[in-house]
Structure 1
Amino acid sequence: MKLINMEIPQTLHKRIESCADHVFQGLIPNWVNHGFTETGYSLESLTLDWQPNPVGRVRLLTQCRQLYSLSHATKLGVISGYDAQISKLFNAIIELYFVDDRWIFSRNDDMNILDTQSDAYALAFVMLSFSHYFMLTQDERALTFIERTDQFLDQKMRHPNGGFYEAFPLNEQTVRRQNPHMHLLEGFVAAFEATQAEKYAARIIEICSLAEKYFVDPKTYTLREFFNADLSLDAKTGHLVEPGHHFEWVWLLHQTYRITGRKQDLELAKQLWQVATKYGMSANGGIANSIDGNTFQVVDADKRIWPITEYLKACCVVKLDEQERCDRLEDALEFLLTYYFIDRGRWIEYLDANNQSKGFPLPGTTGYHIFLGLAEVLKWRDS
């Protein structure tokens, strides 16, 4: 954290405030005003003019990320006045997506059931959002669904080779990913914070151990994305590395350390940080979508917005000289303000390698990344 005697530069203060205003006075209010239906659920996507942008599906994932962001931001006190919307959204999630005693993946634009799979990635966000909803409201129904979701994962989706299947019904042929496990880790951290139940601490240790043993290549300290059933690297895609996920794990491993006290988590976080900052940062600013974990060469030089928000989170927790931390935060916030954030809380979802917009609409899932990135910077500033 910050050194007691160090003043945060005024330019950094201003950039923090500008970004916070963009998110808490622009992005969130506009999404609530334009992105929610009378029924209470969120649309999947909006145009850059805040108009509905039907894409053929409305996912459980999107609803949970919206519930998480509104609940956590309200609990932190950075937004207010959304209690009724939060309650309607929570109720809509249960009514629309909990079908036949399990969570379904999506409905279509007419809100008829589309995909009945129970997706591990989405279940992670049920755990995360319902935990934060409970911490805000003390609504005991959230605890019931957290418990039922955990039981479903434990009883129906455990993989014999470690970790969890991608989805239920189970498919043995599906390429396995680290990404759902990373978000399950995030969900279990939140569930532990909400309940203090030791079983969630055990789940946390289990997933951190998977990362150490399988997800992170021991020669290059790169976090790999795609695996075979036995968690050996997938032949076609096992070389791919996403620097944004490195930064996401860096932040998460600092959260798990507070719960488990496992020093190896901090050491792994340090290694992941060093690789991503050395090979994933673009010379003209921002963070590349993907690199080759064997050669460290850039594979996809385009730049989604979410990796730089994960970089902000990592910057706030990793052990750094405080001047370097301030410099990194200031540069990243300036890049957000210059290339990603546009007026009325809107953002550019996708830049090309030359920092030009690729013209994407606004996904309902991205606000989660932007909110938490800024929330962590505010937490660091105020600590």
Structure 2
Amino acid sequence: MNTSVLAPLRPQVEAFLSSALPLWFGEGLDEGQGMFVEALSFDGQSLRGLPRRARVQARQLYVLGLAYERGEFVGSAQQHAELMERVMESVTRSYGALGGGFHTLVGAEGQVLDSARVLYDQAFYLMALAWLYRVTGKVSYREEAEELWGFIETLRDPRNGGFQLSDAPESLPRQQNPHMHLFEACLLCAELLGKVPWLARADELYTLFQTRFLDTTTGPQPFLREFFTADWQPDPATGDHLDPGHHYEWTWLLGRYRTLGGAAAPELPLLYNTACAWGTDRDGLAYDEMLTGGRELRPTKRLWVQCEVLKGHLAYAHWSGDAQALERARHVLGNILSQYLTPQGTWADQLSRDHRNISENSPSSTLYHLYVALNEALPALAATP
């Protein structure tokens, strides 16, 4: 397979990253609070007054960990590691909950605004702790990840399987998305902390994906459901609402699962083919939300979705050797670079159907999607044309 098809885009990717990383870990860091801001303006100014979601802090730590792995340090390697530890200490003070886990939202001054401990957020803190262990080598971070899993176990639904959305009174509909990120977290922990016990935990979530999330019986095209009743039946109101981005994201995750020694994951091409058939426009960009059968629900296009599209194409190309998937990856990456990203290192977070920027600012949470996607593209970007 000729991976050099993406190589001409390498200078643009490198130029963006050379602007983005110093910006988001400079202006994007509130030194006084020791944590990251929720968003920047399009011209790169810090929006410090916005409330700060727990997941943003964990995702930025993830990016810092991956940047360390790639040798893209904020300052020296030691300064980079010290920054990660300093932020984690601040985040634990502001978001850490008695009894384990992390609250979901604090104010700009560090006060708790929403004390719920949300499964989605805990998954990203597992990943942050795994990266902290990788960067520092300190056993305490591996132990903290295991302690956090202990809290996650308190959210388990022993009757129906899977986990509750949070420690707050159960809200419906149930969702696959937090379980997907918990699966992602278990895979990263298996890679960075050791396969035992993390791969077995990933196996359990993969089984839930097979038996609850993936619908292979309704019509000719298998698809990933998002919303469910308490006993994992399709939610009456939203059970037909589908997310093309999650189809691509699961494609990438199943590729990682196979590599780490999980099951053969034969669902990978099924999800990929559905994602390509439903929910993309003629530029190869995916819509935010569809209905079963490929009918439009929300024809807007978030940047994070396109990052998952890119990762899905690359994962499928790696799995199958399909040159068309690599050409699709080139097309999507080109459109991300030309339609979403700015020279300042910020981005338009959402486009309208006709590709106008309709976002108010550049949210910090998107950097995780973007940086991971670009990292996945690096081998092909480095190939000689």
Please report the TM-score for the alignment, with normalisation by the length of structure 1.
Answer: 0.92
Contact 1:205–1:260 (Cα < 8 Å) also in 2: no
Amino acid at match of 1:279: W
In structure 1, the partner of 2:289 is 290
Secondary structure at the aligned position of 1:291 is classed as strand
In structure 1, the partner of 2:349 is 349
The one of 93, 99, 116 equivalent to 2:97 is: 99
> How many angstroms apart in 1 are the aligned matches of 2:112 and 2:222?
42
In structure 2, the partner of 1:120 is 119
Secondary structure at the aligned position of 2:113 is classed as strand
- Report which stretch shifted further, 99-108 or 112-121: 99-108
In structure 1, the partner of 2:253 is 252
Please report the TM-score for the alignment, with normalisation by the length of structure 2.
Answer: 0.91
Q: CA deviation at 1:37?
A: 1.2
- List 4+ stretches of structure 1 deviating above 4 A: 380-383
- Report which stretch shifted further, 186-195 or 122-131: 186-195
In structure 2, the partner of 1:301 is 299
In structure 2, the partner of 1:214 is 212
Secondary structure at the aligned position of 1:114 is classed as strand
Given the superposition, is the C-alpha separation of residues 269 and 379 from structure 1 closer, same or farther in structure 2, using an over 3 Å criterion?
same
Q: CA deviation at 1:159?
A: 4.6
Secondary structure at the aligned position of 1:33 is classed as coil
Contact 2:99–2:151 (Cα < 8 Å) also in 1: no
Q: How many residues align?
A: 372
In structure 1, the partner of 2:30 is 37
Contact 1:19–1:333 (Cα < 8 Å) also in 2: no
Contact 2:30–2:48 (Cα < 8 Å) also in 1: no
- Report which stretch shifted further, 179-188 or 249-258: 249-258
> How many angstroms apart in 2 are the aligned matches of 1:365 and 1:231?
29
After superposition, the C-alpha distances for 1:177-198 in whole angstroms (9 at most, x for unaligned) are 0000000001111111122242
Q: CA deviation at 1:156?
A: 4.1
Amino acid at match of 1:248: E
Given the superposition, is the C-alpha separation of residues 46 and 121 from structure 1 closer, same or farther in structure 2, using an over 3 Å criterion?
same
After superposition, the C-alpha distances for 1:303-337 in whole angstroms (9 at most, x for unaligned) are 00011111111222213445323311221111012
> How many angstroms apart in 2 are the aligned matches of 1:161 and 1:328?
39
Q: Percent identity?
A: 25
The one of 14, 19, 40 equivalent to 1:26 is: 19
Contact 1:48–1:361 (Cα < 8 Å) also in 2: yes
Contact 1:16–1:333 (Cα < 8 Å) also in 2: no
> How many angstroms apart in 2 are the aligned matches of 1:364 and 1:79?
19
Contact 2:289–2:298 (Cα < 8 Å) also in 1: yes
> How many angstroms apart in 1 are the aligned matches of 2:71 and 2:358?
34
Secondary structure at the aligned position of 2:297 is classed as strand
In structure 2, the partner of 1:325 is 325
Contact 2:129–2:145 (Cα < 8 Å) also in 1: yes
In structure 2, the partner of 1:140 is 139
In structure 1, the partner of 2:161 is 162
Amino acid at match of 1:133: L
> How many angstroms apart in 2 are the aligned matches of 1:180 and 1:325?
27
Q: CA RMSD in A?
A: 1.8
Contact 1:20–1:374 (Cα < 8 Å) also in 2: no
In structure 1, the partner of 2:110 is 111
Secondary structure at the aligned position of 1:99 is classed as coil
Q: Kindly indicate whether residue 1 of structure 2 is the aligned counterpart of residue 8 of structure 1.
A: no
After superposition, the C-alpha distances for 1:324-367 in whole angstroms (9 at most, x for unaligned) are 23311221111012111111111110100011110321111000
Q: CA deviation at 1:284?
A: 3.9
- Report which stretch shifted further, 230-239 or 139-148: 139-148
Contact 2:81–2:136 (Cα < 8 Å) also in 1: no
> How many angstroms apart in 2 are the aligned matches of 1:325 and 1:156?
38
- Report which stretch shifted further, 326-335 or 205-214: 326-335
> How many angstroms apart in 1 are the aligned matches of 2:111 and 2:278?
44
> How many angstroms apart in 1 are the aligned matches of 2:231 and 2:107?
34
Given the superposition, is the C-alpha separation of residues 7 and 120 from structure 1 closer, same or farther in structure 2, using an over 3 Å criterion?
closer
Amino acid at match of 2:22: P
- Report which stretch shifted further, 365-374 or 211-220: 211-220
Secondary structure at the aligned position of 1:131 is classed as helix
Secondary structure at the aligned position of 2:225 is classed as coil
> How many angstroms apart in 2 are the aligned matches of 1:200 and 1:288?
33
Contact 2:229–2:235 (Cα < 8 Å) also in 1: yes
Contact 1:284–1:354 (Cα < 8 Å) also in 2: no
Amino acid at match of 1:143: R
> How many angstroms apart in 1 are the aligned matches of 2:366 and 2:116?
22
